[in-house]
Amino acid sequence: MRILVGLKQVPDDTLGLPFASGGQLASSAQHSWMLSPFDRYAIEEALRIRDATGGEVVVAHVGPDNPPSVLTEGLALGADRAVHVWDATLPSLDPLATARALAGVIRRLAPVDLILCGQRGVGEEHGQIPGLLAELLDLPQVTFVVRTELLDDHRLRVEREVECGREIWETSLPAVLSAQKGLNEPRQRSLKGVLGAKKKPIDRPGRADLALTDADLEPQLRIDAVRPIPPRGAVRMIPGDPDTQARELVRLLREEGRLP
């Protein structure tokens, strides 16, 4: 099987987001970067399926790959090769343009039996690439996947997480899956993996190789402004012993109409 995993690089905002003066988000150079956490489940599942059935795992990323590189991370974890779509002539890509570029990568790699992505990139929270890809490539999709079981070369049984539980679906292959947390326990990269990653090939197709027109890359969704949300007002601390605290809290919640 050939499995493609789409990767997304996101700002590591654990320590807060850098703002430039004027309330705008700081330029990308000032962020520290990481692989979107959901992508780790996608990579892990792809590696497990490959190890069970043979074939290869290709990781692909559209956009600048700031250090630490997400493609190097994917290769260090065990992917066989990587595809990087980025050059200085590309405009800033919205989710649809990104998906069109990724669809070009998948057509170029054909045949691809399975496509895996994280269910969304944390931070920007679009969560669109899996569904966009499936429609662009006319493939079935299963999102929020928490379990996979390969029935044969053409059929996959899948569990997906919904609001109040899990569903079991069966899909034909090729298909697009989006990985939800809980799908597996992602591995850590090993020293051997890190060293081996340097020898693995990275393909860098240009827009002509992917048959992308200017119209394909034109953003349909534009960001007009960005501003921080003001923090919540000052917290009211309720002192006393547990009994007093509990009674006082209930009194305040009631008086202020905060109890539904």
Site residues (CB under 8 A) for other proteins, limited to 75-104: 94-96, 99
Q: 164: Cβ–Cβ under 8 A, 6 or more apart, which residues? A: none
Q: Measured from the CB of residue 249, what is the shortest distance to other proteins in angstroms?
A: 6
Residue 232 has which token pair? Answer: 């919540």
Query: In the window 160-199, what residues touch other proteins (CB under 8 A)?
Result: 160-172, 175, 180-182
- Of 22 and 260, the one with the shorter C-beta distance to other proteins is 260
**How far apart (Å, rounded) are the C-alpha atoms in residues 141 and 132?**
10
Q: Measured from the CB of residue 107, what is the shortest distance to other proteins in angstroms?
A: 15
Q: Where on the phi/psi map is residue 157: left (φ > 0), alpha (ψ -120 to 50), or beta? A: beta
Query: In the window 108-127, what residues touch other proteins (CB under 8 A)?
Result: 120, 122-127
Q: Measured from the CB of residue 194, what is the shortest distance to other proteins in angstroms?
A: 25
Size of the site for other proteins (CB under 8 A): 89
Query: In the window 127-166, what residues touch other proteins (CB under 8 A)?
Result: 127-136, 139-144, 146, 157, 160-166
Query: In the window 213-242, what residues touch other proteins (CB under 8 A)?
Result: 218-229, 231-233, 235-239, 242
Angle (nearest 5°) at CA 225 between 16 and 222: 110
β-bridge pairing 114-118 and 2-7: parallel
Map residue 174 onto helix, strand or coil: coil
